[in-house]
Amino acid sequence: MTRKSVIIISIIALSALIGVIFLSCGRGKPLSKMGPAQYAGSQSCAECHSRIAVTFRNTLHSQIIQDARQHPSAIQGDFVIPNDLRDFTKDDVALTHGIQWKQRYIDKEWRVRRAQWNFETATWAPYNFDTWKKSDWRKECAYCHTVGFDLQKLTWSELSIGCESCHGPGSNHIKARLEDKHASILNPATLPRRAASDICGQCHTRGKSPDGTWDFPVGFKVGDYLGSQHFKVVNKSNTEAWWPSGHVKQHRQQYPEWMESTHARAGIGCPTCHSVHEAKTKFATAMNPNNLCLSCHGNISTDPLRGHAPIARAPQHSDCIGCHMSPTGKSATRGDERTHQFRTIPPKVTMARGGGNPEKQPNSCNHCHAHKNQKPEYLQKALDDGKKLLSVRFGSIAN
């Protein structure tokens, strides 16, 4: 057989193989003949979406819950040095819950044990110290930290947060004909910004179901608009959840803050800033915070940061989120979560609502290491003087 014949036969065989593949895809079932979609698992998604699957595995969402029996290295706390808070060993841990800020430990009876490991300080801290024996991770946490949670059976189809947490059940997408592929799965990127953000909001919020039983929005499905029929957000009068100024005090409250923001009113949603499929930055933003903000707010002045910030003479502190997303919340340690109202908290708010004490009402200035021990009165005067100076140089300055 000549070389030319071999090449021709190879081309014919390859063409036939490609044809079979495309015919196979095209012969999938039409959507009209399929029943309700079922959960298929992230591994099924990875077979076609391998690049996204690889980057997603490195995100906090993907790693938030891990089976400690299958992955012993997931246990990050110090179990070597004895500690009075920790009354359990590694052998008691069935699941780890958390990464980057804190890690909690669930035992074989689904109880969240009484001590959590805080990564920033590398210390143990109490968690529901006196009531942990009554806890049930399935009822309190599993809805947001598993895929396909069944409220009645307290079961799920996949541990941790996966593809179908945001895209919905994918079995019909797998079986669908090629021409029906897009219609067979929910893609948050094609939803209105509010609906896409509500997918995030179902878990990045704090409150109760309408009947007061559950800590999550019962009946919500991805693609729905999150409303009072699903969930009642914790009231601003709750001093454990909110500061007197109405800014976030606890973790898991980004959504209700965002809903109050000018970003939400302008159609700027969670996916505008955050990159869900890959962890490019600590907070899963699409780029570093300053570049992200200035990609929309680059017209503040010819020298955006130094020309806009009242602390322009200290450019090392000229940081968008330092002032506009002050660290008011607490996940593991106070100040490790930032407000999502995107507005500054001037020192005069501490003076008016916290009696001048930043511990009772934080502000955007006192959280900074350089100013944490300075009185709000002094900082407010410095802020006002800085604004006057910059108004002369650059025109009006937004808050």
With a cut of 80, say whether residue 391 has pLDDT above it.
no
In whole angstroms, what separates CA 279 from the centre of its chain?
11
Q: State the DSSP string of 309-376.
A: -TTTT-GGG--HHHHHS---EESSSEEEE--SS-----HHHHHHHSTT-TTTS--TTTTSTTTTTS-H
pTM above 0.75, yes or no: yes
Residue where a domain terminates, one of 111, 142, 173: 142
With a cut of 50, say whether residue 25 has pLDDT above it.
no
Among 19-33, 304-318, 340-354, the range of highest mean pLDDT: 340-354
**Rounded average pLDDT over 164-192:** 93
Q: What is the pLDDT of residue 79?
A: 98
With a cut of 50, say whether residue 6 has pLDDT above it.
no
Q: Are 339 and 329 in contact (CB under 8 A)?
A: yes
Q: How confident is the model at residue 314 (pLDDT cuts 50, 70, 90)?
A: low
**Rounded average pLDDT over 13-31:** 51
Q: What is the pLDDT of residue 1?
A: 56
In whole angstroms, what separates CA 77 from the centre of its chain?
22
Within-domain flag for 213: no
With a cut of 50, say whether residue 23 has pLDDT above it.
no
Within-domain flag for 317: yes
Which of 30-39, 110-119, 254-263, 312-321 is predicted least confidently? 312-321
Q: Which residue range is the domain that position 310 belongs to?
A: 296-394
Q: Are 396 and 388 in contact (CB under 8 A)?
A: no
Q: What is the pLDDT of residue 398?
A: 46
Q: Are 202 and 145 in contact (CB under 8 A)?
A: no
Residue where a domain terminates, one of 142, 170, 185: 142
How many other CB atoms are found less than 10 A from the CB of residue 160?
Answer: 19
Q: How confident is the model at residue 299 (pLDDT cuts 50, 70, 90)?
A: confident
Q: What is the pLDDT of residue 387?
A: 78
Side-chain half-sphere exposure of 122, counting CA atoms within 13 A: 3
With a cut of 90, say whether residue 70 has pLDDT above it.
yes
Within-domain flag for 110: yes
Within-domain flag for 149: no
Q: What is the pLDDT of residue 165?
A: 98
Residue where a domain terminates, one of 94, 110, 142: 142
Within-domain flag for 264: no
Phi, psi of 242 (to 5 degrees): -130, 145
Q: What angle do CA 172, 272, 235 make, to 5 degrees?
A: 90
**Rounded average pLDDT over 13-21:** 46
How many other CB atoms are found less than 10 A from the CB of residue 170?
Answer: 23
**Rounded average pLDDT over 191-211:** 96
Within-domain flag for 42: no
Within-domain flag for 70: yes
The residue that leads in pLDDT, 300 or 172, is 172
**Rounded average pLDDT over 191-213:** 96
Q: How confident is the model at residue 19 (pLDDT cuts 50, 70, 90)?
A: very low
Which of 170-179, 294-303, 361-370 is predicted least confidently? 294-303
**Rounded average pLDDT over 222-226:** 95
- Counted domains in the chain: 2
Within-domain flag for 383: yes
